Amino acid sequence: MQSIVPPPPKVSYKSLFGLPVIVAALGYFVDIYDLLLFGIVRVPSLRDLGLNDEQISRVGATILNWQMGGLLIGGILWGVLGDKRGRLSVLFGSIITYSIANIACGFIDRVTFMNPVDYYAVMRFIAGVGLAGELGAGITLVSEVLPKQLRAIGTSLVAGVGLFGAVVAYFTVELFNWQNAFLIGGGMGIGLLLLRIGVIESGMFTQVSEQKHVQKGNFFSFFTDWERFSKYMKCIGIGLPTWFVIGILATFSNEFGKAFGIAEPVKPGLTIMWCYIGLAIGDLASGLISQGLKSRKQAVSLLMGFTLIVSLVYVFVGPKTVTGLYMYFLAMGFGIGYWAMFVTIGAEQFGTNLRATAATTVPNMVRGTVILMTSLYSYLKPSFDIVNAGIAVGILSFAIGFYSILTIPETHGKDLNYLEE
């Protein structure tokens, strides 16, 4: 007698437009607006503080490193709190922190009680701490409230919508000025708090929180088990090419433009905007690609490979016009659009009692590596020249990235309702 296999249950796509997804997407929109704002206003804001071109390059890299250091520390802080106190507590606490810091950045040129440049660095550090919590907590919440068949699409929607914050940041600076851009960013963050009130906590976290014997949010547990440590480091490695493109190629695109012999000045803010337009489109596509291939690893590998090819053409052939340079970054941005999949992979690799810690610390560890990338880039420039210094940093980033994605376990369709021992 032939057994009849029941058809799989139908999945409602309505949950993709529920309040958790909408609020997480808007939260990431404001997060990206504020995160990328310094890169966009770096040159005009430091010029208004009286710095020359050489100082702008050196001091700008230092302030960026302070911001990335804040992200590194904040990633651990908010990640642990997300598993101990809940996903929503992180979303509230982080947004208050970075909103206040961004409002404070709007008054840098009026500071008299200390060196404005030092004040700028401190405020970007505090903003970095706050910004570290938004993406990981949002992706964790969305991953846990959506059916497993829709996780890839849901997290891609969050990232795809959120990444357009970079576009809005650029035009805000163009239409107003860098001071008002900081104030608007802080104001949007405060406004988001009102939307957060109606969002409910993840059911998976609620179940775990009732189990008092379960250890939650222990960051050091990533380093006490070899298999867990290996997965954690590979999660970080997957993301390195994304911030090589953003933190080196895009942020210092004005320096690369001069090295390529482009006569017209390159605006790093505009470069970042085009990069993030591509990134937003790539993020939306990555979820569909992952869903179609039924594989996170294949989707990320394809996009990472595309990014490598465009990057190689960029540094070895080189754009001839400023418009051509921006189009290269539109393409590279699409390639690094696996960012949503990368964060989702980080969330899916670990149990509920460590998931927020992983999903929040992993992307911020990657952002924190920008400190190492910019330091290596600056160290190599005098002896290698600008382009070759960038190539050296890129080779290291892509080598680690490909090794990590090819050797990490597949998580497509994985049941997330489990605990780490």
Give per-residue pLDDT as tens, 352-398: 777 778 878 888 888 888 888 988 998 998 888 899 999 999 999 99
User: Hey, which of 69-78, 95-104, 192-201 has the most confident mean pLDDT?
Assistant: 95-104
Give residue 55's pLDDT.
84
End-to-end CA distance of the chain: 43
In whole angstroms, give the CA distance from residue 239 to residue 257: 25
* Residue 169 structural domain: 18-201+224-407
The residue behind tokens 């919508």 is 161
Read off the amino acid at residue 346. Answer: G
Q: Tell me, yes or no, whether 12 lies in a domain.
A: no
Instruction: Flag whether 375 is in a domain.
Output: yes
Question: Do the domain assignments include residue 41?
Answer: yes
- The pLDDT, as a whole number, for residue 242 is 94
| Counted domains in the chain | 1
Query: Average pLDDT for residues 193-210, to the nearest whole number?
Result: 56
Q: Is 144 inside any structural domain?
A: yes
In tens, the pLDDT along 333-346 reads: 999 999 878 888 88
CB 347 within 8 A of CB 145: no
| 1 exposure class (CB count in 10 Å sphere: 0-12, 13-18, 19+) | exposed
Average pLDDT of the chain to the nearest whole number: 83
- The reported pLDDT for the residue numbered 6 is 52
Residue written as token pair 């021992």 = 421
What are the residues whose beta carbons fall under 8 Å from the beta carbon of 263, sequence distance 6 or more? none
Output the domain CATH number for residue 174.
Answer: 1.20.1250.20
Question: Pick the residue with more confidence: 87 or 408?
Answer: 408
Q: Is residue 215 part of a domain?
A: no
Query: Is residue 347 situated within a structural domain?
Result: yes
Q: Is residue 121 included in any domain, yes or no?
A: yes
Confidence label for 407 from pLDDT (cuts 50, 70 and 90): very high
36: in domain: yes
